[in-house]
């Protein structure tokens, strides 16, 4: 976990949040965990935190653009492909716990899992720190 924290540039005060952010739903069937013990709720929160930070960034960077143009720019930045790219840049696949089969070996499911796990990680950072912590990691 320390290696992931170094790659993120963020140190968790509550390591249990980091661990939870790394448990994919596919792990439930073989581990005895409940669905509530996976990263899905953190993913929901991380998506909202990500949206806020990116919206604020675009609002400040493009003061002369209207809502529609800002929305298009946000869509380019916030999508599963770009999130998966960010996840790959910190080698998140090395840390995410999935269920049977090698879900992270390749293909579109890999990118989906990585992108959503990155959102969960942002949700964990938000709960552990603040929206400022999420902003620091993203920007």
| Residues annotated as part of the active site | 47, 119
**Contact present, 32 and 103 (Cβ < 8 Å):** no
**Contact present, 20 and 124 (Cβ < 8 Å):** yes
Of 127, 85, 90, the closest CA to residue 9 belongs to 90
H/E stretch holding 6: helix 2-8
Give the SS3 label for residue 24.
Answer: coil
Between CA 23 and CA 54 the distance in angstroms is 25
Tokens of 112: 């989906």
Phi/psi at 97 (5° precision) = -100, 115
């Amino acid at each position: 976990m320390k290696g992931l924290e170094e790659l993120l540039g963020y140190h968790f005060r509550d390591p249990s949040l980091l661990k939870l952010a790394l448990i994919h739903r596919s792990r439930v069937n073989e581990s005895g965990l409940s669905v509530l013990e996976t990263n899905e709720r953190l993913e929901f929160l991380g998506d909202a935190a990500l949206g806020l930070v990116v919206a604020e960034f675009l609002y400040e960077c493009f003061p002369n653009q209207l809502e529609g143009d800002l929305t298009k720019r946000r869509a380019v930045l916030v999508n599963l492909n770009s999130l998966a790219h960010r996840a790959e840049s910190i080698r998140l696949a090395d840390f995410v716990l999935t269920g049977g089969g090698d879900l992270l070996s390749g293909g579109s499911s890999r990118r989906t899992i990585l992108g959503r796990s990155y959102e969960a990680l942002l949700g964990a950072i938000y709960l552990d720190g603040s929206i400022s912590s999420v902003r620091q990691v993203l920007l």
